[in-house]
Structure 1
Amino acid sequence: MDGYGVLVRKDDLTATEVVAEPVRPPRDGEVTLEADRFALGQINVTYARLGGALLPFWNAFPAPEGRGRVPVWGFATVVASRHPGVAEGSRWFGFLPFGTHHTLAVEPSGAGFVDPAPERAFLHPWYRTYQPAGAPAATDDLVAMARPVFPASYLLDEFLGEQAARGARTVVITSASSRTALGLAELLEHRGDLTVVGVTSRRNWDFVAGRGIYDVVAAYDDLAGLPITTPAVLVDFTAAPKLLREVHEKLGDGLQHSALVGYTSPDAVVQPDPMPGPEPRIFFTPAVESETVAREGAEAFYARYHAAEARFVARAASWCAVRPVSGLPAAADVFRALVAGEQRPDECHIVSPQ
C-alpha cells in the first residue's frame, strides 16, 4: 500500500515537501489508520515551533534528518488490523502524522485505545489516546477544529474561576481571535466576576468585536493606553516577547498571574527572558486535565466537558466557515500560510488528504 506524507524543514517551517512513502503493514497487536480528514490551525504551528524545545513534538513521528512531521488531529479509519479489539472499518479520532496513513500498536482502554509505542512515551497520554468516532456526522469538520483546542479553553475557564476567587478582577487574553481564546471567552461570558479584555491585531478587530463575547476589545497598538482594573491575569496565546513584556510592564504588581498557552506569533519564543511581575508559567492542558479527572472522576469530568464542547461547536457554525482542502500539496500551502500568520479567524481548514 502506498501513502504520502508532508515533511517540514525544522529550520524553516515554510519549506515543505510532499513525499511518497510505503505504508508499513501492521504486525501483531497493531493497526493501520487511514486519515479521513483533519484540521490545520495554529495548534499545528505551535507543535512545530515547540518541536525541539520543552516538548519535542518532532520526535512523535520520526522523519529524515533535518526534517519533521507535524502532528495533526483528525478522524481516521482502520484499514488493516491485527488486533482483535480494534476492527477494520472502525473510525477513530486522535493524533496523527501530517499525511495519509499511520501504523501503530494499540492498547484498548476505557476511553478507546492508547498508543503504547516507546518512541511516543514522552508524550502525555492525552496525545496518545484515540477516541471512537462512530459514523461520519455533519459536525465532524467543526469537531476536528475544536477538539484539539477546546480542552484548553474549558480548563482555563476553571483556572480563571480560581484566580477570581483569589481576587483577580480582569483577565487579558491575547490573540483574541484564536480558536482557544474564542472558546475561553464564550465560557467566561457566564461569569460575572471577571472583566474579559480581548487583545487582537487591527486586522482582526472587527471580527473579534463582532463576536460580542469580550467586555473590551483592543488592538495591540492600543494596549499602552488601555485602562485595566487590577489585580489582573494574563492569558497569552502569542508567546511574543515584546507583547509579553509590554503587558508585564504595564500591569506591574497588579498582574496576579501570567499564563503561557499558545505560540501563535511568528516571533514566538518558548522561554521568555525575565520581566517585571510574576514569571510567565506554561499552562499545560493535558496535565491540568489529568489532575482534574483524578480529582472528580473521568465519567463526571468528560460528561460535562463534552456537553460544553458540543455547545461551542454549535455556536461555531455561525462564525467559522469550513474551507475544504483536498490533497496534501494544497494542505502544505495552508500550513505555510499559517506559519506566516495569514489565517482568517472566521475560517477553518479541513484537509481530506487522499
Structure 2
Amino acid sequence: MIELYKSKIEKDINEAEILINTFRDDVEKGLDKIEKTLPSKYFYNKKGDALFVEIMNLPEYYLTRSEFDIFKNKTEQLIEAFNIDSNSYFELIELGAGDGLKTKELLKTLDSKNYKFNYFPIDISLNALSLLEKDLNNDMPNVSVKTQQGDYFEVLNSLKQSKKPKVVLFLGSNIGNMTDEQASSFISKLGNNLQKGDKLLLGVDLIKPEAIVLPAYNDSKGVTASFNLNLLDRMNNELGANFNLNYFKHHPEYNEKTGVAKSFIKSTINQTVEIKAIGKSYSFAKDEKIHTEISRKYNDTLINQIILNANFVINNKIMDSKAYFADYILTRY
C-alpha cells in the first residue's frame, strides 16, 4: 500500500513537471517573437477559472447568455434542424462539455420526447466530467451519459467505429479562438471523423458593432483585465518571473470590418523582466503589446469560407432573440 501511494505521488510530480515544462517552452516561444504572444490556454488555472465564471455573469458579457437563449427558447428548432428520427438511435457528442449548462436544456427536451440516444460529453478535465455526470444522473436519470476524457479527435476517432448517426456540438464560439486557417483545418479534421449525413452544431458569435462587442472584453468592473493579467501572475508563481503587474495593463481591440476581437497585455513603461525558468530576460518598450487571445466574430460568408474544403453544407442558422449569436447546423456530405 505504501509503495502504491509513493508511486502515485511520483506520477503526480512527473505530470506536474511536464505541465510546467510545456508552459515554460510555450512562453519562451511566444516572447521570442518580434510581436510577442502568450497562449490563451494558460489563462485557466484555479484563479483564472474563478475569474472566467465571474466574467460569464457580467452584464457586458453577452456570449453565454445569447447561446443559452437559443438552447432554452428554441430547443424545438434545434431538434428539428438535426433531422433525427425519434425512433432511431443516435449519438450526441459534445466537444468541451464543461458544466453542460446549455446542453442540459437540449437533453431535457430530447428526454421528454423519448429520443433514443447516448450523450458523449468530451472534455480534458476529468473533474468537470465527473461533476457533469453526477448532475445529469440526478436531474435526468433516463439520459445515458458516457463521459469521454481526452483530446477531441482521439475520442471522435474511437467513436467513429460505431457507424451510428451522430450530432456533434461545438458551442460557445470556441471556434472563434482560432485563426481562419486554424478553424478551417479544425473543421476539416472534425469532418474526417464523421460519416455522410452526420450533423455538426457550430455555435458562433456574430459580427456586431464595437459598442456591443468591446465592453464584453473590457468590463467596467475590471474582471476581464484581471483575467488577462493573471497570465503574468501565473508566470511569476510558476516560472520564477518578476512581472510587476502595476506596469502592465489589459488592452482589448475590435475591428468591426474584419470581425476580429483581440486581447493584449500592454507595457506602460520601458522595462525588463526576468524569467528564471527560461534563463532569459525580456525587454518591453512603453506601449509594446503582448497578444494573448483572438475572438473571431462571424457571418454567413465567413462560415462558408471555413467549411469550404471540409465537406459540410449549412442546413440551418438559429439565432438568439437579439441576433447576437448563431448556432449553425451543418451536415456532412
- Both structures adopt the same fold (TM-score exceeding 0.5): no
More helix by share: 2
The normalised TM-score by structure 2 is 0.34
- Larger RCO, structure (CA 8 Å, separation 6 or more): 2
More strand by share: 1
The structure with the largest alpha-carbon Rg is 2
